[in-house]
């Protein structure tokens, strides 16, 4: 497995692979890899000849009061896991290698990124879309694999690819949970044992909501969302948002909505967790 640290080196590698007729699969990550990331790598290996994993804690998607400095990092372990899982190349630039000191061009999505995490984390999706566009240009993927865990992010990226005509297939792989139901996230490591137990209310309440909505359909939605909020608070969490939206538009569901997306964000201690569940109506 090769490790590249500069934009020029990874782009040269990617262009050479393309000239050799290889299909490139990209898995963009911020490192501290877990089983969720590895499921994306496995999917990329099914879809491409060459798999590039980017490991970059992207400063432009963190707000000034967020956890950029303490975001978990373990580059050696990440590289070992990538090598064990058949990754062809890791791209791990420094912020200086990714951004010119006077960089001034951004990619801004203006619909899907407005609510939910976009409303709570101003500038977050501008940073995500910009870095992902740069990663696409640097790694020249035929396919890029994202996780359903970050459902809003996946929709924003799909829209960017559509609207800016990137010739890239966006594959969204299922959310991966631990045995106890907690959605896998690099941020889970911040949770104390007690907070982690309390946080299981997230998946539990989403599953209960899914069952209720399947039975009673959209008319039950307001009650279901209120029940999720109540259960999170009862478990000692602090609700950031709980919403039920059309899974394609992220707008309130209408009679035409076929899939509803239940999305939530909540704090346990200082740790902000997100989770979601698709409900077929």
Residues that bind ligand PAF (CB under 6 A): 28-30, 58, 61, 128, 131-132, 150, 153
Q: Which is nearer to ligand PAF, 40 or 221 (CB)?
A: 40
CA torsion sign for 252, 255, 256, 258 is positive
Locate all alpha helices (DSSP H) within the chain, ordered by sequence: 7-19, 35-47, 75-84, 95-98, 116-120, 124-139, 151-163, 193-199, 201-216, 221-234
| Nearest distance from C-beta of residue 143 to ligand PAF, angstroms | 15
Report, as residue numbers or ranges, the catalytic residues.
37
Q: Which is nearer to ligand PAF, 39 or 61 (CB)?
A: 61
Q: Which is nearer to ligand PAF, 54 or 277 (CB)?
A: 54
Q: At what angle do helices 221-234 and 201-216 cross, to 10 degrees?
A: 160
| Nearest distance from C-beta of residue 186 to ligand PAF, angstroms | 8
Q: What is the separation, in whole angstroms, between the first and last Cα of the chain?
A: 45
| Nearest distance from C-beta of residue 31 to ligand PAF, angstroms | 8
Tell me how far apart the alpha carbons of residues 79 and 82 are, in angstroms, rounded to a whole number.
5
Contact (Cβ atoms closer than 8 angstroms) between residue 54 and residue 91: yes
Contact (Cβ atoms closer than 8 angstroms) between residue 2 and residue 87: no
Q: Which is nearer to ligand PAF, 151 or 224 (CB)?
A: 151
| Nearest distance from C-beta of residue 58 to ligand PAF, angstroms | 4
Tell me how far apart the alpha carbons of residues 163 and 103 are, in angstroms, rounded to a whole number.
22
């Amino acid at each position: 497995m090769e490790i590249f640290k500069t934009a020029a080196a990874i782009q040269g590698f990617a262009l050479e692979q393309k000239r050799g007729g290889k299909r490139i699969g990209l898995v963009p990550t911020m490192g501290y890899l877990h089983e969720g990331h590895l499921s994306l790598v496995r999917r990329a290996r099914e879809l491409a000849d060459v798999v590039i994993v980017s490991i970059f804690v992207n400063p432009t998607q963190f707000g000034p009061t967020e956890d950029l400095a303490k975001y978990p990092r373990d580059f050696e372990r990440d590289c070992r896991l990538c090598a064990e899982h058949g990754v062809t190349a890791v791209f791990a630039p420094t912020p200086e290698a990714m951004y010119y000191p006077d960089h001034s061009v951004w990619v801004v999505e203006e619909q899907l990124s407005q609510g939910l995490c976009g409303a709570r984390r101003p500038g977050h999706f501008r940073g995500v879309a910009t870095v992902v566009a740069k990663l696409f240009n640097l790694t020249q993927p035929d396919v890029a694999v994202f996780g359903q865990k970050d459902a809003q992010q996946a929709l924003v990226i799909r829209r960017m690819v559509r609207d800016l005509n990137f010739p890239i297939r966006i594959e969204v792989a299922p959310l991966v949970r631990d045995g106890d139901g907690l959605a896998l996230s690099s941020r889970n490591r911040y949770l104390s044992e007690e907070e982690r137990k309390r946080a299981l209310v997230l998946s539990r309440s989403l599953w209960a909501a899914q069952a209720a909505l399947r039975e009673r359909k959209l008319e039950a939605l307001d009650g279901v969302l209120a029940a999720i909020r109540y259960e999170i608070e009862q478990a000692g969490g602090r609700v950031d948002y709980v919403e039920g939206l059309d899974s394609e538009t992220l707008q309130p569901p209408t009679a035409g909505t076929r899939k509803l997306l239940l999305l939530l964000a909540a704090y346990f201690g200082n740790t902000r967790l997100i989770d979601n569940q698709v409900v077929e109506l």
